[in-house]
Homo-oligomer: A and B are copies of this chain.
Amino acid sequence: MPAIAPSYFLDPGVLAETLDSMRAGAPLVQCLTNAVVTNFTANVLLAAGASAAMVDFPGESGDFAALASSVLVNLGTPGSEQRASMREAVAAATAAHTPWVLDPVAIGALRIRTSLAHEFAAASPTVIRGNPSEILVLAGSGGGGRGVESTDSVTAAAHAARQLALRTGAVVAVSGPTDLITDGRRSVHVHGGSPMLTRITGGGCALGAICAAFLPAHPDPLVATVSAHAFYSAAATRAEAMSLGPGSFAPAFLDALHLLSPEQLRATAVLS
């Protein structure tokens, strides 16, 4: 394992093509997510051009995971019935080769979700997306953040992210002012975005759903995940310029996800 994964050059034209392909495919994203952000997450998917289906209880979540284009498993409020639903969906997604994203929200001090996150990380997720504190916990090298907020920087979690990627086979995305996406061998940083995403609830959770939406749009999950982050950041930058505070930011962000063209993404994305 290299101490530092080499940075990977990705032509912004590929981002534009992947966005175009996502919209053309209109992927049906099944979300098993937390009770706080279901509405915003569905609206983010619809605004971006995907379809959303929040099929999330035992007896249906497995059947649907076999039909869905991709699946999001977000551990924000994992009550007992939802834990059963998630296990059913993960098993069905794996059997059907449906790509899926794991978002280990607020793991660390909270025992049930932390144990569940380790269980799911071992079940071959396509992507793991979290904040630096969450990625450090999942990699076995941190104690967790403050509720849903990270107390660690993206840089501090970079080594853990690569280790986690190599161990699980997942693309690992670490969200922060600059995002890091790595598969353990290649790493890409996505710049831009807006601090307003931390002043609305679901700013991170909905990014996990957008990652799921992009996975069917490109055969390389690293490229799909980078494209998802660049798209999300570009829309957030645009929305911040049109808003007074978090209240006006949220609808402006949904508008921007709807209106941002592949060409605009190509022209404004900043990767390194």
Contacts and interface: CB of A to CB of B under 8 A. Distances in A.
Interface in A13-56: 28, 34-40, 42-43, 46-47, 51-56
A57 B36 contact: no
A214 interface: no
Given A244-B255, A247-B255, A54 B34 contact: yes
Interface residues of A, number: 63
Interface string A217-250: 0000000000000000000000000011111101
A73 interface: no
Contacts of A130: none
B246 A43 contact: yes
A100 interface: no
A74 to B, nearest CB: 13
Given A81-B79, A245-B255, A53 B200 contact: no
A258 interface: yes
Contact of A246 (B54, B244, B248, B254): B254
A272 interface: no
Nearest to A56: B77
Interface stretch (A104-112, A118-126, A185-193): A104-112
A263 interface: no
Contacts of A201: 39, 42-43, 46, 52
A251 interface: yes
Interface stretch (A141-149, A158-166, A170-178): A141-149
16 contacts: A43-B200, A43-B201, A52-B148, A52-B201, A53-B148, A54-B76, A57-B79, A59-B111, A59-B112, A63-B111, A68-B147, A245-B255, A248-B251, A248-B252, A248-B255, A250-B251
For the complex of A and B, 4 pairs with smallest distance between CB atoms: A247-B254, A245-B255, A247-B251, A42-B201
